[in-house]
């Protein structure tokens, strides 16, 4: 029996717990000082930008491809096991291209994805109007990229389902418990330690005398309810343009986001209301009906971004092969969680 401790129960920690729970020879305990999905996971929009990303090779693409493939079976598996409904939008992502956008790079990406077995489509403005008559396509919009195999998911619902399914397989969860990596390592109760605490990973690794530098990037978003159904009821993909996302939900609701706000001089970040208003204004310019929508909620969250190195960090702690880091996913935690969990499982069971 291999005894494993996981610190952190956002989408990444919960995914790892569920993945490892499938192996009876592993005894898994998860610790978090909060309830699950309370950090960056609970603030995420859950837009899975895999096929439409410009990552085409190496680890960055492999992680995306693995996750996208795994989600197609993971969601029904979790819903059957737990009885929970996980909102999962399978109508893709429609990215509007503004004037000045180099469409030749998209044509190259479309060809690359086709060779990899994935689909991307270049739409002209007339086709966008046909499928999305609710959008206001001003003269700045010159085309769109439709990615039918990318997805959007509710991160909180997914995380809670992962926790429930992992519990059914024998994983122990200790919430409201703050632990240090050094205390777990010194206790002798566990054979392996997995650090998946997002921003908290820096403090955990510092307690092990091996600081993994992960810093916050703040994002703000809004939850809206429209007076009328969102666009075309038969075609409701995520709409994105210049890093503004309009995410359709049930009951004539949607999410709009998100800002990208960095700390000044390494200090704490205060949410900038002007930046959120700018995101909302740009969303209204795309979809004028949002101007009359009721604001149900405004929120912000801190994304964990590795300092001076690519995201995410999936590796053993330098100098200690019994400690694994699965953190620093920045803006792609939900997208990369299944592939991260598989990577950690392979590292542990090799």
Q: Is the pLDDT of residue 265 over 80?
A: no
Question: Mean pLDDT throughout 109-136?
Answer: 97
* Closest to 194 (Cα-Cα) out of 62, 34, 1, 2: 2
Q: In the prediction, which pLDDT does 186 show?
A: 83
Q: Are 191 and 3 in contact (CB under 8 A)?
A: yes
Q: In the prediction, which pLDDT does 266 show?
A: 62
Q: Is the pLDDT of residue 14 over 90?
A: yes
Q: In the prediction, which pLDDT does 66 show?
A: 98
What percent of the chain has a predicted confidence (pLDDT) above 70?
99
Question: Mean pLDDT throughout 208-219?
Answer: 94
Q: Is the pLDDT of residue 78 over 80?
A: yes
Q: In the prediction, which pLDDT does 229 show?
A: 82
Q: In the prediction, which pLDDT does 319 show?
A: 85
Q: Which CATH class is domain 89-152+216-305?
A: alpha beta
pLDDT tens sequence across 171-199:
999 999 988 888 898 889 999 999 999 99
CB atoms closer than 10 angstroms to residue 183: 11
Question: Mean pLDDT throughout 131-158?
Answer: 96
Q: In the prediction, which pLDDT does 350 show?
A: 85
Q: CATH number for the 2-87+153-213+307-349 domain, one of 3.30.750.24, 3.50.50.60, 3.40.605.10, 3.40.50.2300?
A: 3.50.50.60
Please calculate the CA angle 275-280-282 and round it to the nearest 5 degrees.
Answer: 95
Joined together, the tokens standing for residue 280 give: 């909302």
Question: Mean pLDDT throughout 293-318?
Answer: 96
Q: Is the pLDDT of residue 29 over 80?
A: yes
Question: What is the residue extent of each domain of the chain?
Answer: 2-87+153-213+307-349, 89-152+216-305
């Amino acid at each position: 029996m291999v005894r494993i401790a996981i610190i952190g129960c956002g989408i990444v920690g919960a995914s790892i717990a569920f993945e490892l729970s499938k192996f009876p020879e592993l005894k898994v305990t998860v610790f978090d000082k909060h309830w699950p999905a309370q950090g960056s996971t609970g603030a995420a929009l859950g837009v899975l930008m895999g096929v439409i990303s410009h990552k085409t090779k190496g680890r960055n693409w492999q992680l995306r491809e693995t996750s996208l493939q795994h989600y197609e079976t993971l969601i029904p598996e979790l819903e059957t096991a737990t009885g929970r409904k996980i909102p999962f939008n399978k109508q893709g992502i429609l990215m509007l291209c503004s004037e000045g956008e180099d469409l030749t790079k998209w044509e190259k990406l479309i060809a690359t994805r086709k060779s990899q077995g994935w689909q991307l489509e270049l739409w002209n403005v007339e086709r966008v109007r046909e499928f999305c008559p609710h959008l206001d396509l001003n003269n700045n919009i010159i085309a769109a990229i439709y990615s039918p195999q990318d997805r959007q998911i509710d991160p909180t619902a997914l995380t809670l389902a992962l926790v429930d399914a992992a519990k059914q397989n024998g994983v122990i969860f200790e919430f409201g418990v703050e632990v240090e990596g050094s205390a777990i390592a010194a206790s002798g109760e566990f054979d392996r330690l997995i650090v998946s605490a997002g921003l908290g990973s820096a403090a955990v690794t510092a307690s092990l005398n091996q600081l993994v530098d992960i810093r916050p990037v703040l994002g703000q978003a809004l939850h809206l309810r429209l007076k009328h159904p969102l666009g075309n009821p038969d075609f409701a993909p995520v709409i994105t343009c210049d890093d503004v996302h309009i995410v359709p939900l049930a009951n004539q609701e949607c999410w709009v986001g998100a800002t990208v706000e960095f700390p000044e001089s390494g200090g704490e970040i205060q949410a900038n209301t002007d930046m959120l208003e700018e995101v909302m204004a740009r969303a209204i310019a795309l979809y004028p009906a949002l101007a009359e929508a009721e604001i149900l909620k405004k929120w912000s969250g801190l994304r964990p971004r590795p300092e001076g190195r690519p995201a995410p960090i999936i590796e053993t702690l330098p100098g200690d092969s019994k400690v694994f880091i699965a953190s620093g996913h920045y803006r792609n935690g939900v997208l990369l969680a299944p592939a991260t969990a598989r990577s950690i499982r392979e590292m542990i069971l090799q």
